[in-house]
Structure 1
Amino acid sequence: MVQGKRWVIGKPFEGSLTDANFHLEEFSLPNLNDGEILVEAVYLTVDPYMRMAMISRPAGDTIAGEQVAKVVESKNAEYPVGTHIVTSPGWVTHSISNGEGISKIDPNYPKDLPLSLALGTLGMTGRSAYIGMTEIGQIKAGETVFVSGAAGAVGSVAGQMAKIMGCRVLGSAGSDEKVAYVKELGFDEVFNYNKVKDIDATIKGLAPNGIDVYFDNVGGDFSMMMIKHMRIYGRVVVCGAISEYNLTDPQKYPSIFCHLLFNSIKVHGFTNFHYTQLYPKAIAQLSEWIQKGQLKYREDVTEGFQNMPKAFMALFLGANKGKAIIKM
C-alpha cells in the first residue's frame, strides 16, 4: 500500500491567505484494480484561479490543481510504467487514475524542453494566451494591444503572441525588474503601475488613438479605467482578475456602460476549458514559436512539495518571476 501526501484546506479561503489556510496530511492509496494506474507527481503548478476554485470549499478538501506525473505502477496497457501524463488530482504527491480526464505528454513534445512547460507555455498558460488573443480578441496586424499583468505567466505569452502577429503591444507590470523583463520579451512600451503618478494619463500618452484589444489579467480599478481608452469596436479579453481574488467587501465602480455602448466595445470573459477543440492547434503553434526562438518563457521553480502554499501565496504578492512551478 502506497503512502502519499496532500495539501487540504485548513481554514476556509476568505480574504488574504495565511499558513492557517493549508494543512498537509498523509494518506494511503489502495491496491490497483484492472485498468488503473498509480502516478507520482513530478511537477505541480500553482495558479491564481485556484484561489477562486476553492473559495466555497470546506476545510479538509484537497486543494485543486494540475500536475505532470509519472506512471509508477500500471494495470492499464495504454499507460505503461514510465509514461508521463498531465492530470488534475489536486495538490497530491500520488494518485490513482482509470485513464479518464488525463492526457499523455505528446510523443512529439520537444526533447530539449522541460516537461514542466506542459503546465505553462505548452499547457494551460499558453492555451489561455492563445485562445484569448486569437479566438476572443481576434487580433489583427497593425492593431494596438494592451496587456495588464504583462510579466505574469499568461500575460507574457499573450503579449509576445501579439508581437509575433504584427501588433503594437503595450503592457503594465508591478516592478522595475518586471518592466525590464517584459521589454526583453519585445513589448513596445511597458510601465510600472506602482511608480507612475497618473496611470490614466500614462495610457493616454502611450495610446493617444486608443486601444483595439485589452487583454485583462488583473480586473479591479485598473480595468475599469482601461475601458475608456478602448477604440470603436475594441475587444476586452477578460482572462483573470487577480486584484479581486482576496477581496471580502463588494466593490463599487464607475459606470462603464456608456463607453461600451457608444464605442461598440465587446467584453468577453473566458476560461480555456470551454475551448478544448483548440488545444491541439494552440500547442502546435506555441511549440513552433518556441523552437524558432520567437517565443520566450521563464519559470519560477520552487523545490519541494512542502513549499506549495508559500509559492501559491507569493502569486498574490507579485513575487513570482514567470510561471510558478513546484518541482518534486
Structure 2
Amino acid sequence: MAPITNGRLIFKEIPSGYPVPGKTTVYDKSSTIDLENAPLKGSILVKTLVLSVDPYLRGKMRAAERESYTPPFFIDEPLYNYGVGKVVRSENPAFHAGDHVYGMLDFAEYFIPKDITKLKVIVRPESTLPYSVYVGAAGMPGQTSYYGWKEYAKPKAGETIFVSTAAGPVGSLVVQLAKQDGLKVIASAGSDEKVKFCKEIGADVAFNYKTTNTAEVLAKEGPINIYWDNVGGPTLEAAIGNSALHGRIIICGFITQYNDEEPYGIKTMRNVLANRLSINGLLVFDHQERYLDEFYEVIPKKLASGEFKYTEDITRGLEKGGEAILEVQKGVNTAKKIIVVADD
C-alpha cells in the first residue's frame, strides 16, 4: 500500500490569552504514513478514533522551560491528550490488531506511540456505551470525580455541596455521586440548557452563574459543607465566604485563570481559619493506583444502565480541533467536548 496522508494538529505558537485556531494550533497534512510497512520497533500502530478536549490543555501551551504539574506541548509537534484508538498493527504481545486502546494519543489520524505503557486495552462489557464515553464520564474526567469524591469529600447524608461547572463531565458526575450519598446539591452552570441538565441529574438548586449572583444563592441555600471547584476566581471566593464549619474544598480546576495573566485575589480567606476549612488540590494521576480498578468496576456499569447520566458535545474532524479547544476555554461548549477523528 502506498503511503497515505496523516493529518495532525500541531502546536505552533505559545498563546497570550486564548489559543487561536490556525495560529496557536495548525492542522497539518504534510505528513504521510505507510500503514503496512511503517517500522514499529516493538510498538503498535494506532488509528485515532476519539480525542478528549479538556480545560487543562491550556496549561500545556507554555514555554518548555516553565515547570508545572503536567509536561508542556512542544512547538511543531502534535498535541496529545486522552483518547481512544484502534490497533492497526502490533509488534507487542500485550496488544493485538483490532484492540481498542485508551490513554495518551497524539492529535493525529495515525501514530506510533513511543511509550505504550500509557495505553490500556479497553475491555467493554458495557457494549452499549460508545467509545467516546471512555474519554468522558468513563475516562479521565469521570476518574477525577470518583477519585476526588472517595479521597477528599468525606460526605455525610444531609450535608450541602456546591458544584461549579456542574454540567461538565467532572461536575455532573460529582452531582450524581453526591445525590447517591444523600447530600443537598447546589449546582452552577453557564447556560440555561446546562442548568436544565443539572436539574435532570438531581441537583436540588441549579442556577446560571452568568445571570444570577453566586454569593447570594450560596448565602440563601448554604452554608456549604463541600465545595467542588472547577473554576477558581470569584466563585471560589463566594464558596469560601459561605462555608460551614469544618467545610471541605476540593480544587480540581481553575478555568477562569487559565487564559489570564493576572491572578485573582481571594478576599474571603479569613474564613479558612475561622471555619477551619480543609482545602485539597486534586490531580487525577495521584490516585490512580488506589482507585482505578474500582472506578472501572463501578462507573461504566452505572453509565450503561442509565443510573448515571452523561452528555457530549461532539466536533467531527481533526481539522476542527483548534476550534474545539477554544470553545472549551471560553466555556461555550454545551457538554463534554470530544473530537471524533474517525469512525471505528
Q: Determine which of 30, 35, 49 is the counterpart of 1:42.
A: 49
Q: C-alpha distance in 2, partners of 1:63/1:47?
A: 12
2:61 equivalent to 1:54: yes
Match of 1:144 in 2: 160
- Pair 1:262–1:86, CA change in 2 (3 A): same
The answer to whether the aligner puts 1:271 opposite 2:283 as a matched pair is yes
**How far is 1:152 from its partner?**
1.2
- Matches for 1:199-278 after TM superposition, within 5 Å: 199-207=214-222, 210-254=223-267, 256=269, 258-277=270-289, 278=291
Q: Which residue in 1 is equivalent to 2:31?
A: 27
Deviations 1:30-63 (A, max 9, x none): 8224522100101111110111122224532322
Question: What residue in structure 2 maps to residue 283 of structure 1?
Answer: 296
**SS of match in other structure, 1:110:** coil
SS of the aligned residue for 1:243 comes to coil
Distance 1:56 1:167 in 2: 43
- Give SS of 2:330's match: coil
3-state SS of the aligned residue for 1:242? coil
CA distance in 2, matches of 1:137, 1:53: 28
The structure 2 residue matched to 1:175, chosen from 191, 194, 198, is 191
TM-score (normalised: structure 2):
0.89
Q: State whether residues 14 and 55 of structure 1, in contact with CA within 8 Å, keep that contact through their aligned partners in structure 2.
A: no
Q: In structure 2, the residue corresponding to 1:23 is in which secondary structure? A: strand
Offset of residue 164 of structure 1: 1.3
Q: What count of residue pairs does the alignment treat as equivalent? A: 323
C-alpha distance in 2, partners of 1:90/1:140? Answer: 42
Separation (CA, whole Å) in 2 of partners of 1:223 and 1:14:
24
Q: Does 71-80 or 225-234 show the bigger shift?
A: 71-80
Q: CA RMSD in A?
A: 1.8
CA contact (8 A) 2:7 2:109 kept: yes
CA contact (8 A) 1:32 1:38 kept: no
Equivalents in 1 of 2:264, 2:228: separation in Å?
A: 21
Distance 1:229 1:159 in 2: 19
**Are the aligned partners of 1:123 and 1:283 in contact in 2 as well (CA < 8 Å)?**
no
Q: Secondary structure at the match of 2:185?
A: strand
* TM-score normalised per structure 1: 0.93
The answer to whether 1:12 aligns with 2:14 is yes
Which deviations, in whole Å up to 9, do the C-alpha atoms of 1:246-304 show, x marking residues without a partner? 00224333250x21112110000111111112111122221232244220011111111
| 1:67 and 1:88 in contact (8 A); partners too | yes
Local SS of the residue matching 1:310: helix
Output the CA distance in 2 between the equivalents of 1:293 and 1:59. 42
Letter in 1 for 2:15: F
Shift of 1:3: 4.3
Higher relative contact order (CA 8 A, sep 6+): 2
SS state at 2:31 partner = strand
Residue 69 (structure 2) aligns with: none
Distance in 2 separating the partners of 1:266 and 1:136: 9
Return the match for 2:138 from 118, 122, 131. Answer: 122
Deviation at 1:219, TM superposition (A): 0.6
Aligned partners of 1:13 and 1:51 also within 8 Å: no
Corresponding letter in the other structure for 1:91: F
Residue equivalent to 2:68: none
172-181 or 265-274, larger mean C-alpha shift: 172-181
CA distance in 1, matches of 2:278, 2:220: 23
Does the CA-based 8 Å contact 1:217-1:241 persist in structure 2?
Answer: yes
